[in-house]
Structure 1
Amino acid sequence: MSKRAKAALASGLGLVVLTATYLTVPWEGVENRAYWDSLGRVWTVCAGETKGVKKGDYYTDAQCLKKLETRLEKDFRQPLRKCIGTFDAAPISVQASMLDLSYNIGTGAACSSTAARRMRERVWEGACHAMTAFNRAGGRVVEGLRKRREYGDAQRIGELELCLAGLR
C-alpha cells in the first residue's frame, strides 16, 4: 500500500478537503488570474474553475481553495450522492477518488460510468479500477490523465492509489 496515500487518509480531513488537497489541486494546479483555455474555449481560473469566470478575474490562493471546496460539495458531491445511492456507504478513499473524477469529467459521465455502477453494487475495488478508464482525450491515452487515474507520479497521488489505499 502506498505510504503517501495512507498518510493522506490518516490526515483526518473531511471528504471535500481531502479531495481538494490531495487530488484536485495537485493535478489541476492553481492559476490565480483568469486565463483563456484554448482547448476548452473558456475562461478558467484557480484549479480549473470555469463557472462564471471572465477575463480579468483574480483570486487569492485562499479564495481559490474556498471556491473549489464549495464547487466540490455543491456541484459534484451532492449530485454523486443522488445518482449513487451507496455513495456515503463507500470508504472515504473511494468517495474522494470518485469526487475528483467527477470534477474532471463531469457528473453526467461519472454517474453513468461503470465505476458508479460498481459503487452502487458496493464493489469498491472494482469501482476503483473502473475509474482508470477515463484516461483519454481526443480518443488517445494521455499520459497525464493515465497517471492521475492510476498511481500518480513522484509528486502527486493518483486516484487509484488513494482509492485502493482505503480498502487495505
Structure 2
Amino acid sequence: MNSKTKAGWIGIAVAIVGTFEGLRTVAYRDPVGIPTICFGETKGVKMGDRATLAECEAMLADSLQIANRQVSQCTDVPLNDNQRAALVSFTYNVGGAAYCTSTLVRKLNAGQYGAVCGELAKWKYAKGIPLPGLARRRAAECDLFMGRVT
C-alpha cells in the first residue's frame, strides 16, 4: 500500500469512527457500562480519567493502525480505500479477534464482497442488547464498503 492510499483509508476511517464514537475527554460509561474515553477507547480506562484532544487524536491514530494491521492480516482479497476504511472502523469497534474469526471475513475471503453488508448488520449488539447506534454504524459501514458514500 503506498502512502497516498494509506492517507486515503485512514482519513475516511477517522471520519467514520469520529462520527459514531464522538469525542469525550473525560471517562464515561458506554451504553453497556464499560469505562470509555476519547473516540471510544476502552483499554485501561478508569472512571475519572481525562485526556486532551491531542492525546485522543494520538490514541485514535494508533488504534486505527492496529485495526488496519488486523484487517490486513486476516483479509486475503484486495480492498479499495472505502472498503478498508469500513472494515477498519468495524474492527476498531469489535476487535481484531472478532473480525478475524467472523463469518464476514470468511465470506469476504471467498470473494463474496456482496455478503459483507448482511454480515455487518448482524453486529448491532453489545452484551446481547441491540443498540440503534450500532445498527446505524453498521449501515454506514455497509454504505462505505459498497461505495455508496465516500
Q: TM-score, normalised by structure 1?
A: 0.73
Query: 1:82 aligns to what?
Result: 73
Task: Supply the distance in 2 between the matched residues of 1:81 and 1:103 (Cα, whole angstroms).
Answer: 13
How far the C-alpha of 1:47 sits from its partner, in A, is: 0.8
The alpha-carbon distance between structure 1 residues 107 and 85, as it changes in their structure 2 partners (threshold 3 A), is same
> Aligned Cα RMSD in Å?
2.4
Please list every run of at least 4 consecutive aligned residues from structure 1 whose deviation after the TM superposition is greater than 4 angstroms: none
Query: 1:9 aligns to what?
Result: none
Query: 1:25 aligns to what?
Result: 18
Per-residue CA distance 1:94-144 (angstroms, 9 max, x = gap): 211111111111111111112211221232222233211111234443222
How far the C-alpha of 1:78 sits from its partner, in A, is: 0.8
Aligned-residue identity in percent = 29
Task: Supply the distance in 1 between the matched residues of 2:48 and 2:130 (Cα, whole angstroms).
Answer: 33
Per-residue CA distance 1:7-53 (angstroms, 9 max, x = gap): xxxxx9521231111x1111111101223458344x32101112233
Task: Supply the distance in 2 between the matched residues of 1:140 and 1:47 (Cα, whole angstroms).
Answer: 21
Q: Which of 1 and 2 has higher RCO (CA within 8 Å, sep 6+)?
A: 1
Amino acid at match of 1:161: D
Q: Contact conserved, 2:32 with 2:126, CA < 8 A, in 1?
A: no
The alpha-carbon distance between structure 1 residues 140 and 32, as it changes in their structure 2 partners (threshold 3 A), is closer
Q: TM-score, normalised by structure 2?
A: 0.81
My pick for the range that moved more, 57-66 or 110-119, is: 57-66
Unaligned runs of 5+ in 2: 1-5
Query: 2:120 aligns to what?
Result: 131
Unaligned runs of 5+ in 1: 1-11, 151-157
Task: Supply the distance in 2 between the matched residues of 1:112 and 1:105 (Cα, whole angstroms).
Answer: 11
Q: Give aligned pairs, total.
A: 144
Per-residue CA distance 1:59-102 (angstroms, 9 max, x = gap): 2223312210111102x11122112232xx11222211111111
Q: Contact conserved, 1:93 with 1:166, CA < 8 A, in 2?
A: no
Structure 2 residue matching 1:32: 3-state secondary structure: strand
